[in-house]
Amino acid sequence: MTISEQIITITLCVLGTMTTRFLPFLIFSEKRPTPAFVQYIGRYLPSAVFGIGMKAP
Amino acid sequence: MKRKALKAAFPYTIPIFAGFWFLGLAYGIYMNVSGFSFVYPMIMSLAIFGGSLEFVAVSMLLSPFAPVQTLVMTLLIQARHLFYGISMLEKFKNMGWKKFYLIFGMCDETFSINYTADIPKDVDRGWFMFFVTLLNHFYWVSGATIGGLLGSLIHFDTDGISFVMTSMFVVIFMEQWMKEKHHISAYIGLLVSAACLILFGADSFMLPTMAAIIALLAASRRKLEKLEVNES
C-alpha cells in the first residue's frame, strides 16, 4: 500500500465510524420532536444492548 | 462548574483507565511490530476512537488496497453505534457545541457510563459527559501512542486485559438491572445475542442481533407501554 492509499484507508475507517455515530442525530434533529416509536426504542435499547456488551468486549 | 464536573466524572472512568490504557498499549505495540511509526496508532486512536475497528484496521493496512471492502467492514463493525445514538437522542439535547464531541467520542464504554451514571443534581450534565468522553479518549490515545513508541522494547501478556472490559459491562448491566422496574428488555438482549452468537458465530452475530432486538422491541411495544402506564 502506498502512503496515499493508507491515508484513504484510515479516512474511510474514520468516515464509516462517524457515520454510525452521527446518523441518528442527523435523522432526528433537535428542532423537530423525535417520533414516539424512536423514543420508545431509545428507552428500552440500553438494557438490551448492555447484554450484548458482555459477550462482545 | 467544570472542576466539579471533572471531579464527579473521574471516578467513573477509573475502570476504563485500567482497560483502555493497557489495551491501547497493546494496540500501539501491535502497530509498531507490524512496521508502522507511532504516528499511525496516535492519529488512528485519536480520530477513530474505537478499539475493535482499530485492531482490524492493522490487517487492512497490511493487505492490498481495497477501499469498498474497508468501508463496508467499518460500517459492519461499528453498526452498534446507531443504537447508542438512538438511546442518547434525548440526553444530548441542548448540549450546544459539546454535543459534537459527545457524539464523536461515543465509543462503547463512554456510552455505557454516560447513559447509566447517576449525575448529581448540582453537577452540570453536559460537562460531566464531556469529561467522561475526554478522559476515556485521553487514556486510549496515550496508551496507543506510548505503545507505538516503545513497541518491540516491551513484551507483556495482554490476555487477561480484555476481561477488565467484560467485567465492566457486567457491572453496568447489573446497575441498569437494579434501576429498571422490569427486565423484559434485558432478557431480550441476553437471549437474542446468545442465540445469534450460537447461530452466526462471534464474527457476524452483531447485525442479526440488532435486527432481532429492534423487531422484538417493536412487537412488545404495546405491552411495555402498558406496564409504564401502570407504574406511573
For residues B68 and B23, the model is more confident at B68
pLDDT at B28 > cutoff 50:
yes
Note the pLDDT of residue B71: 94
Give CA torsion, residues A36, A42, A48, A54, to 10 deg: 170
| pLDDT at B6 > cutoff 90 | yes
pLDDT digits (tens, 9 = 90+) for B83-121: 999 999 999 999 999 999 999 999 988 999 999 999 999
> Which region among A1-5, B8-12, B75-79 has the lowest average model confidence (pLDDT)?
B75-79
* Closest-approach residue (CA) in chain A for B68: A12
CA-nearest residue of chain B to A49?
B189
Which of A13, A43, A45 faces B57 most closely, judged by CB atoms? A13
Confidence of residue B172 (pLDDT cuts 50, 70, 90): confident
Cell digits of residue B136: 476515556
CB atoms within 10 A of CB B203: 8
Give Cβ neighbours of residue B206 (< 8 Å, ≥ 6 apart): A52, A56, B76, B77, B79, B80
Per CB-CB distance under 8 Å, the chain B contacts of A44 are 184-185, 217, 224
Question: B54, B73, B87, B197: best mutation site toward chain A, by most A Cβ within 10 Å?
Answer: B87
Do the Cβ atoms of B65 and A8 come within 8 Å? Answer: yes
Chain A contacts to B (CB-CB under 8 A): 1-2, 5-6, 8-10, 12-25, 28, 30, 34, 37-57
- Reading the block at residue B16, the C-alpha cell is 476504563
Across the interface, whether the CB atoms of A17 and B74 are under 8 A apart is answered: yes
Pick among A2, A3, A8, A13 to test the B interface (most B CBs inside 10 A): A13
CB contact under 8 A, A57 and B71: no
Task: Tell me: pLDDT of B164 over 70.
Answer: no
Whole-number CA gyration radius for chain A = 17
For residue A49, give the H/E element and its range.
helix A36-55
pLDDT at residue B175 in the model? 79
Query: Of A13, A39, A49, which has the smallest distance from its Cβ to B83's Cβ?
Result: A49
- Inter-chain contact B85–A25, Cβ cutoff 8 Å? yes
- ipTM, two decimals, is 0.85
For residue B37, what pLDDT is reported?
95
Q: What pLDDT, on a 0 to 100 scale, did the predictor assign at position B225?
A: 87
| Contact flag B82-A24 (C-beta cutoff 8 Å) | yes
Listed as ranges, residues in chain A with pLDDT below 50 are 56-57
Helix axes B67-78, B206-219, angle to 10 degrees: 40
Calpha distance B142→B148 (Å, rounded) = 10
pLDDT digits (tens, 9 = 90+) for B191-228: 998 999 999 988 888 889 889 999 999 999 999 888 88
What mean pLDDT, rounded, does chain B reach? 89
Of B185, B205, B214, the CB nearest to A47: B185
Higher pLDDT, residue B199 or B173: B199
pLDDT for B159: 65
Would you report the helix, strand and coil content of chain A in percent, each value rounded to 5?
A: 80, 0, 20
The pTM for the full model equals 0.85
CB contact under 8 A, B112 and A53: yes
